[in-house]
Amino acid sequence: MDVKDKYKKQNKTKGGLKDNLNEAFQLLINNIKDYAIFMLNPEGYIVSWNKGAERIKGYKADEVIGKHFSIFYTKDDVKKGKPEMELKIAEKKGRYEEEGVRVKKDGSKFFADVVITSFKDEEGNLVGFVKIVRDVTERKKMEEELKQKEELFHALVENAMDIVMVVDREGRIKYISQSVERIAGYTPQEFIGKNALELVHPDDHKFVLKNLTYLVDNLGVSKRIEFRIRAKDGSWRYVEAIGNNLTHIPAVDGIVVNFRDVTERKVVEERLKESEETYRTLFEAATDAIFLLKDDILVDCNIRTLEMFRCRKEDIIGKTPYDFSPTKQPNGKDSKSAAIEKIKAALNGNPQLFEWKHRRLDGTLFDAEINLSRIKIGGEFYLLAIVRDVTMRKRAEEEKERMRKVLQSLWKLASVDVDYRTLYNLALNEIIHLTESKYGFFGTIDEGETELTILSWSKDIMKDCRIWSKSRSFLINKAGIWAEAIRKKKTIIINDYLSYPNKKGFPDGHVPLTRLLVVPIFEGKKIVSLTAVANKPTEYTEEDAELIKTFMTNVQLILDKKRIEELYRSVIETTGTAIIISDEKTTIIYVNKEVEKLLGLPKEEIVGKSWTEFVVKEELDKMLEYHKLRSIDPSLAPKSYETKLVDKKGDIKHVLLALSVIPDTNNHVISFLDVTELRKAERKIKESEERYRTLFEKSKDAIVLTGMDMRVIDCNESALKLVGMTKEEIVGKSFIELGIIDEKDISRLMETLYKAMREEVGNVEVNIKVGDEIKWLEVSPTVLEKDGKPYTLLIIIRDVTERKKYEEKIKLTFERLRIIHELDKGIIAGKTFREIAITALKNIREFVECEGGALLTYNTEMDEFVLITDADKVIFKEGTTIASNRIRSFEKVKRGEIVGVENILELDELTEIEKELLKAGMRSHIHIPLIVRDEFIGILCLTSKKPKGFDEKIDFMKEISDQLAIALHEARLSEMRKKAIEQIDHNIEQLAILVDHIRNPLASIVALAEMHVEDKEIADKILKQAERIEDVIEKLDKSWLESDKVREFLKRSYKD
């Protein structure tokens, strides 16, 4: 009996396991197809089989029941005893499970998920096993494929050129691929858990956050963007990123972002874009016309081409360059032939650069510079033409040549040393030459622009003109064409005089005119002179007019300069200050008499030499250094300082020097103030101090010993005298307790004393009040040590009151020189009485530091003053008249006394002026008389909000007021001379009228006497008296002519 039959029989005899199963359960088991479920006896033989087992294993029930379950194992597993081992484990542990390879009926292998469960009876005896098998081959294949795919994906991700990153909804990095190290220099571990935005460039942060938010809010969408990330070395890399929201996939649960480094691409793109934009911009924005030619046909052009040729693009494309040219070029060549010749040469590879005359669409011509070059586009040759409009350049070259001639003529005029009339004649001759004219005249216009006075006629006018009386003065309202330039205030150009409609006609003998150019010369808005030229062979142009305007404006400057030079010499000769004028090479070109006195040499032995010859050797380097620095930048060198000169005898002269540059020149004005005597006095004082400094009790300096607590231990007699106290009043007290030092100086004094304790050398100047006297002290402390430790302070106190006064005096002297210099400049510049007064007031008030000031000019006839002030907020308006009786102590002031009020509040009675001053917050005022050559011309009035506001600077104000009076007197005389000339003009006119009024009736009387008086004796008497009257008239005529000469002389003198 075989095993199968044996177990079938055994099952029947024992009732079988099968009979013990529930029929329904057995039916369920049998119909399961996805799982092989079968039972084994304790030895491993199969005792049941379901349809799932049949499907999976390939065996039918009758083929397998009774057989050992090892038939399902590979030979190697059977040989190794694997089936028996599994049953032992199941029996021991109750269960065994694994996934492994099993064998089907047809010998094929499959992956099986195996579970073997042991069954025991109530006594614990093994009954058998249930084995459940599931075919997981497909799953295994899928897992293997998935594993391979994962490995492939991991290999791809880890070795890809791109960065793969997964971030959660908050932007934290969950995963980042290894390629981040290659691209950005970071290891993946450096980023896990960090916010991805930390990598992003600050400028891109908002943009990236916006797109990340969009991805988070939109499931399953993707987004492609470009931005910059920071590499580990600090550089920024451009990346192209594609983000996908895969939060709906549990295995991912995040935003997957692929980064690609596109830095090099971006650089290339940017360069390409820049290159394209650059070339297109250059093409379209070029200031030259640029067009492209295929053979001789225009195929493209830039905007400038259309502007230059004044056409539309369709007007020029398809045309030839010679379509936009005149028939002939300036050299006479045919434009078409010449153009084709140039085009052929350029197409043969020979670049062409030439000048050409082009014609715009509207027919106007212009000069051009052409550059033709061959270029290759798409394998074909084209010509690139660059056309530059050089019309303005050619005009500029012509204008440059004209201006060269103008400058040459101006230089010639500026270089000659002649009188004014000769200079006018020379200027007119140059104008006629420059404009190629035959005739011309130059004249000045009066203040009211009513009359022209001719200063110069051209030689040809004087030769060709046949008018018997050549007047030099003409009324504008009666004049002809040339006066239109004055009436209309513009240049008149007439190139066809005969056809000009508004002519008044010529007097007999006038020179014939064909062309006329009349140019008014302005000073501000006023016409000051007129230049006219005529009969140029060719037409006059605006350029001719501009040439005359430029030339004559500069001629006027030359004349003004000459006049100023003369006035300047006059002023500096009369001043009491030594003044030198030197050029940029230190050569002296002018000195006044005071310099001769200072150096003890005549002018001839000074002028022409370098000022370095009169400077002492030890001062020379300093002065030359200042001179060099001043030539670089005037602010680098001081304007005033002290130096030493040597005179004819070899004596040293200490001088205070003030220097300024003459405007529009490289020349210098140097003023000297001799302070030799002051320096001698100072040196004597110093020598005296040095002789007694080392002596304590006999020392002129105060010497004080203090403890380290600053309390006085001892002092010498000089110290006691200095403060006016006894030793008992000083010893044991500190400087503060003595109460003699100004509060503002206490801190500086204490700081210096403490520095001395730290062995830092220093001194300080303080002032003390002894009774009513203010004294300046120089305090120099020194620490004295004992056994290497400080125990006392030795304080040397020097009374420097006199030195401070001297320094103040020097300061006042410098300020006086500066203000005098300003007044001198005002006189030289021809400023008015009021302008000089305002300048002086401003400088004096600033130096004196007072709040108010005015100049009261005295009118002798009206016995009153007219007020001038420089202040913005004034107590009395400018021009206010003030009676002399309103001025305190007027008679004293008029006699030359300075009258001041130290405190207005202390006055019992106030003048009306003082009441107004008090209302304005003023507390003191001072009246300083201004007297020149015993003539009282006014008062310098200064006011201050402080009592006694002028005590310290009274001497300064007295000195400066004398110079101010001179300057104001000179300004007033200048104005009076001008008025005198005007009055003489009026008198001459009246005298001429009077002569006419007498002569006409006289002629009638003579005629009546001769014709109607029959009594011969009476007629003779009448005629005799008429002759006497005629003699008087003749004398009046001569007087009129002499007055006219006087007037002309005064005018020239005034202008000079």
Give the CA angle between residues 613, 614, 617 to the nearest 5°.
80
At residue 456, the pLDDT reads: 81
Residue of 807, 803, 869 lying closest to 834 (CA atoms): 869
Query: What average pLDDT does this structure show over 442-454?
Result: 87
Assess contact for 641 and 675: CB atoms under 8 A: no
Q: Which helix H or strand E contains 867, and what residues bound it?
A: strand 864-868
Which top CATH class is 286-389?
alpha beta
Radius of gyration (Cα) for the chain, nearest Å? Answer: 59
What pLDDT does 519 receive? 92
Enumerate residues 6+ apart whose C-beta is below 8 A from 784. Answer: 790, 791, 792, 793, 794
Q: What is the second-level CATH architecture of the domain 681-799?
A: 2-Layer Sandwich (3.30)
Q: Is the pLDDT of residue 910 over 50?
A: yes
pLDDT at 255 over 70: yes
Residue whose C-alpha is closest to residue 296's, from 336, 351, 333: 336
**The predicted structure's pLDDT at residue 392:** 83
Q: Which residue has the higher pLDDT, 646 or 463?
A: 646
pLDDT band with cut points at 50, 70 and 90 for residue 712: confident
Q: How many CB atoms lie within 10 A of CB 718?
A: 22
- Residue-wise pLDDT tens digits, 551-569: 888 887 777 766 666 566 6
The pLDDT assigned to 504 comes to: 64
> Tens digit of pLDDT for each residue in 759-772?
555 677 777 777 77
CATH topology of domain 575-674: Beta-Lactamase (3.30.450)
In this predicted structure, what is the pLDDT of residue 14? 40
Q: Which residue has the higher pLDDT, 827 or 1026?
A: 1026
Q: What is the DSSP string of 15-58?
A: -HHHHHS-HHHHHHHHH--SEEEEEE-TTSBB----HHHHHHH-
d(CA 661, CA 176): 77
21 or 684, which is more confident: 684
The alpha carbon torsion through 49, 50, 52, 56 (nearest 10 deg) reads 20
| Range 690-714 average pLDDT | 73
Mean pLDDT score, 904-921: 86
What per-residue confidence (pLDDT) applies to 387? Answer: 93
- For the chain, give the percent of residues with pLDDT over 90: 16
> What is the pLDDT, as a whole number, of residue 98?
92
CATH superfamily of 396-566: GAF domain (3.30.450.40)
Strands 380-389 and 289-294: antiparallel
Q: What is the DSSP letter of 905?
A: G
Q: Give me the residue label for tokens 């052929």.
A: 344
Q: Which two tokens stand for residue 787?
A: 């056994």
pLDDT: which is higher, 63 or 706:
63
Residue 958: burial class (beta carbons within 10 Å; 0-12, 13-18, 19+): middle
Q: How confident is the model at residue 678 (pLDDT cuts 50, 70, 90)?
A: confident
Question: For position 18, what pLDDT does the model report?
Answer: 45
Tell me, yes or no, if the two domains 160-263 and 286-389 fold the same way: yes
Better-predicted residue by pLDDT, 1017 or 118: 118
Cα–Cα distance measured from residue 366 to residue 974, given in angstroms and rounded to the nearest whole number: 57
Residue 371 token pair: 């550059």
Please give the pLDDT value at position 77.
92
pLDDT band at residue 428 using 50, 70 and 90 as cut-offs: confident
DSSP-derived secondary structure for 605-643: GTTTSBGGGGB-HHHHHHHHHHHHHHHH-GGGS-SEEEE
Residue 278, amino acid = T
Q: Mean pLDDT over all residues of the chain?
A: 80
Mean pLDDT of 146-166: 65
**902 close to 952: Cβ distance less than 8 angstroms:** no
Q: How many of the other CB atoms lie within 10 Å of CB of 57?
A: 24
Strands (E), 652-787: 652-661, 668-674, 702-706, 712-715, 764-770, 773-786
CA–CA separation, 693 vs 266, rounded Å?
85
Question: Where is average pLDDT lowest: 180-184, 632-636, 745-749, 842-846?
Answer: 745-749
| Residue that is written with structure tokens 């980023």 in the block | 191
* Between residues 98 and 874, the one the model is more confident about: 98
Instruction: Report the pLDDT averaged over residues 180-197.
Output: 82
pLDDT of 44: 92
Q: Is residue 270 over pLDDT 60?
A: yes
Work out the average pLDDT over 457-475.
Answer: 67
Are the C-beta atoms of residues 458 and 429 closer than 8 Å to each other? yes
Cross-strand partners of 492:
518
Identity of residue 871 = A
Give the model's pLDDT for residue 372. 93
1 pLDDT band, cuts 50/70/90, is: very low
Q: What is the pLDDT of residues 770-806, one digit of tens each?
A: 777 778 888 888 777 777 777 787 888 888 888 777 7
SS (H, E, C) 63-129: HHCCCEHHHHCCHHHHHCCHHHHHHHHHHHHCEEEEEEEEECCCCCEEEEEEEEEEEECCCCCEEEE
- Range in 302-316, 400-414, 460-474, 637-651 with the lowest mean pLDDT: 460-474
Residue 461 has pLDDT above 90, yes or no: no
Q: What is the pLDDT of residues 74-103, one digit of tens each?
A: 999 999 999 999 999 999 999 999 989 999
pLDDT band at 11 (very low <50, low <70, confident <90, very high): very low
User: If you average pLDDT over residues 731-743, what whole number do you get?
Assistant: 76
Fold of 160-263: Beta-Lactamase (3.30.450)
Nearest to 731 by CA among 751, 705, 697: 705
Mean pLDDT of 192-201: 85
pLDDT at 774: 79
* Strand duo 881-883 + 864-868: pairing: antiparallel
Element (H, E) at 427: helix 420-434
For residue 383, name the pLDDT band (cuts at 50, 70, 90): very high
Question: Would you call 865 exposed, middle or buried from its count of C-beta atoms within 10 A (0-12, 13-18, 19+)?
Answer: buried
Using CA atoms, how far apart are residues 833 and 966, in angstroms rounded to an integer? 11
What's residue 338's pLDDT?
Answer: 94
Residue 12, pLDDT > 50, answer no
pLDDT score of 749: 67
Angle at 631 between CA 630 and CA 633, to 5 degrees: 60
CA distance 1027 to 1007: 13
Q: Provide the 8-state DSSP code for 662.
A: P
Of 314-318, 404-408, 429-433, 914-918, which has the strongest mean pLDDT?
Answer: 314-318
Torsion angle, alpha carbons of 176, 177, 179, 180, to 10:
10
Quick one: average pLDDT of 488-513? 77
CATH of the structural domain 3-137, one choice from 3.30.530.20, 3.40.50.720, 3.40.640.10, 3.30.450.20: 3.30.450.20
pLDDT at 62 exceeding the cut of 50:
yes
Distances (CA, A) of 468 to 473, 508, 509, 554, 614: 15, 9, 8, 34, 62
Q: Which residues pair with 163 in a beta bridge?
A: 259
**The pLDDT of residue 423 is above 80:** no
User: Domain limits of the chain?
Assistant: 3-137, 160-263, 286-389, 396-566, 575-674, 681-799, 981-1055
